Amino acid sequence: FAAPLGSQGAVIAPDKLVAAERSALQHAIAAERVAKPAPFETLARLRQDLPALDENKRGRAVAVSAILKGMGPGALLPMLNEIAFDTRGREGLTDSAWKAWHVGLVDAVGYLRDARSAPVLTAILDGADTDFDLIRAAAGAFGKLGTDAAAQKLVTMAREKNEKQKQKKGGGFSFS
């Protein structure tokens, strides 16, 4: 079953989601965990292996997003659970591994283009986090949903002047 309120996801806390959306998502995750536990177990093993993957990485970060995308659509709810409800946190991870994990989760969720991710992506975009890579991944994921609401939100964000934009050199928010 899904984590209780007050727990923390890798990116946001559950209380950042609208109550009705949070409840619906928690129920869907709980049902999926019972019906199809394998993707939850696979995601947990990947998280467990992340320190070793980080130690042997080539480049700046582990290619977590590519690994997660390879898990396919069955991994959507396990990834949303990890993002918003139930995570082990930074335990045993370097800064680069932690960043690769939470940014990779959000990017991989976007790759699936599933409307069930909209409440979580909205909460990330509306949140206080100003990490450029995370906001870019969330904006990209949200845009991939292809809805009018997503387009309008992203256009509005692009026009705002705030701390999220200041994280990118040269100012301004870009979706490229």
Instruction: Report the C-alpha gap between 166 and 168 in whole angstroms.
Output: 5
For range 120-144, the mean pLDDT: 94
Per-residue pLDDT, averaged over 79-87, amounts to 93
Whether 115 has a pLDDT exceeding 70, the answer reads yes
pLDDT band at 62; cut points 50, 70, 90 = confident
- Predicted confidence at residue 10, as pLDDT, reads 92
Question: Is the confidence at residue 98, as pLDDT, over 60?
Answer: yes
Residues in the chain: 176
The angle, 0 to 180 degrees and rounded to 10, between the axes of the packed helices 95-112 and 132-143 is: 10
